[in-house]
Amino acid sequence: GAVVSQHPSWVICKSGTSVKIECRSLDFQATTMFWYRQFPKQSLMLMATSNEGSKATYEQGVEKDKFLINHASLTLSTLTVTSAHPEDSSFYICSARDTRRGAKEQYFGPGTRLTVT
């Protein structure tokens, strides 16, 4: 149980275009979802937290107009990188938790590698 999927697993896009990454909880309802970014040889940094049906809360230094997050349903969150630039190339990982059930763990997706050329 507690499986989180991400799509796509990797994507290459041209500078200036937008890319959407999906995060789905497959066997539980994720009332809260989290988006992280990981640069090579570095640890995960939380970008934003989203609760179903409400606006995402962004961490300091993360541009909300550039990284659009939509938590559309209890099983789906999307991250759209708008007007992507090479410095946005990174490994993006989502996680999810069923806060209504008081679940204590966050379950992580397999990640999406974004390369902006």
Q: How many residues bind other proteins (CB under 8 A)?
A: 23
Check binding of 80 to other proteins (CB under 8 A): no
Nearest one of 84, 103, 104 to 112, comparing CA atoms = 84
Give the residue, chosen from 30, 109, 114, 116, that forms a contact with other proteins under the rule CB under 8 A: 109
- Decide: is 26 part of the binding site for other proteins (CB under 8 A): no
66 binds other proteins (CB under 8 A): no
Give Cβ neighbours of residue 97 (< 8 Å, ≥ 6 apart). 30, 31, 32, 33, 34, 103, 105, 106, 107
Which tokens sit at 20? 């959407």
**Looking at 12-20, 40-48, 64-72, 78-86, which segment touches other proteins (CB under 8 A)?**
40-48
42 binds other proteins (CB under 8 A): yes
49 vs 82, beta carbon nearer other proteins: 49
